[in-house]
Amino acid sequence: MKLRIATRGSNLALVQTRWVGEQLKSHFPELMVEEVRVRTKGDRIQDRPLAQVGGKGLFVSEVEAVVVRGDADFAVHSLKDVPGDVPLAQGMGILSVPVRQDPRDVLVTINGTDLASLKRNAKVGTTSRRRVVQLQRQRPDLDFIPLRGNIETRLRKLRDGQCDAIVLAAAGLARTGLLDETPHAVLSPDICLPAVGQGALAIEGALGNETLREQLEAIEDPTARIQITAERAMLQKLEGNCHSSIAGHASTDEGRLKLDAMVASYDGDQMLSATSDTYLDITSGDAIERARQLGEEVADHLLSQGARDLIRQAALAAVQDQLISN
């Protein structure tokens, strides 16, 4: 039997896709896997911030379309790229969430310098408003500059001296085998709360394909599913978009599910936070619903503080920035 997997063509995307294929083959040894590579608009346009060319959803929608057309059986996405404000195509769903990698961000420098020890007015490469607004609270002197490209391109720009530090997801470095050989300092969630879904993979396919759903269930991780359910429920209730500075980090420990979240203004001058937790058995029949309720509860806390206005204002500010840059 053969399964066709739609994927972007970046090294990280291919590593993730091949890992999924190997996990499936460990359960179904007779299985053959074929990669269906897609070069998305987000991959082609590298000279502008992602939000200006359509947001992270670009990485998902064009890959998703290959599955919808029937040219692939399912797609593998980085879950943080799956938008919270735009539904998946009709009849499609996240059929499996495998075990999650470290969701934290890391600060990468030539010698592993941590955030506090960076030289004054250092240039830090990142296009993520979420990262910028949180890190500038710790170090308002830093100069944040746009940084696009795959992991290897960003590391090369650091080595070439285009910036003094860059911020990357720990999961991406780990999956590509670069974490141990790349000098870095981990940014704890209390300094830089991760993006919703960061470190997790989303395997998307047709909801009506029962055979495929049963196969993908073999590599489902209940803990990861619970965590991303809470995070995405929060994001969806906030109606966050690619211009929003929104972060969410769910953690599980001894039967306790905790969700920390943050919403900030575009310039970072205003920052709202909320946290809540609940005790649940991740194997119980109501675990997913309770995780969803936790996410919505945290969103309600943020909304009561004025999160909706910050999100709307951020979208307007991003459009204004885009007009100025053009």
196 in a structural domain: no
Give CA–CA dist 168/162, Å, rounded.
16
Give CA–CA dist 105/95, Å, rounded.
26
- Confidence at 59, pLDDT banded by 50, 70, 90: confident
Mark whether 190 is an active-site residue: no
Reading the block at residue 16, the tokens are 């993730």
- pLDDT at position 42: 54
pLDDT tens digit string along 196-229?
999 999 999 999 999 999 999 999 999 999 999 9
- pLDDT at position 318: 77
Give CA–CA dist 239/247, Å, rounded.
13
User: What predicted TM-score, i.e. pTM, was given to this entire model?
Assistant: 0.92
Question: Does residue 54 register a pLDDT over 50?
Answer: no
Q: Which of 47-56, 133-142, 202-211 has the lowest mean pLDDT?
A: 47-56
Q: Are residues 12 and 50 in the same domain?
A: yes
Q: Are residues 172 and 237 in the same domain?
A: no
CATH code, domain with 147: 3.40.190.10
Overall average pLDDT of the 38-47 stretch: 62
pLDDT tens digit string along 156-172?
999 999 999 999 999 99
Q: Are residues 109 and 144 in the same domain?
A: yes
Q: Are residues 74 and 214 in the same domain?
A: yes
192 in a structural domain: no
87 in a structural domain: yes
Give CA–CA dist 19/88, Å, rounded.
23
Q: Are residues 230 and 216 in the same domain?
A: no
Q: Which domain holds residue 291?
A: 221-326
Beta bridge partners of 251: 258
pLDDT tens digit string along 250-281?
999 989 999 999 999 999 999 999 999 999 99
Overall average pLDDT of the 13-42 stretch: 93
Query: Which secondary structure element, helix H or strand E, spans residue 151, and what is its range?
Result: helix 151-159
32 in a structural domain: yes
In the chain, the number of structural domains is 3
3-state helix, strand, coil in the chain (%, to 5): 40, 25, 35
195 in a structural domain: no
Q: Are residues 93 and 206 in the same domain?
A: yes
Q: Are residues 212 and 131 in the same domain?
A: no
119 in a structural domain: yes
- pLDDT at position 50: 47
CATH code, domain with 283: 3.30.160.40
40 in a structural domain: yes
Give CA–CA dist 37/34, Å, rounded.
10
In whole angstroms, how large is the CA radius of gyration of the chain? 19
Q: Are residues 213 and 162 in the same domain?
A: no
Q: One of 43, 71, 81, 321 is an active-site residue; which one?
A: 81
Look at residue 111 and give its three-state secondary structure: coil
Q: Are residues 91 and 164 in the same domain?
A: no
Q: Are residues 132 and 78 in the same domain?
A: no
Give CA–CA dist 5/62, Å, rounded.
13
- Confidence at 53, pLDDT banded by 50, 70, 90: very low
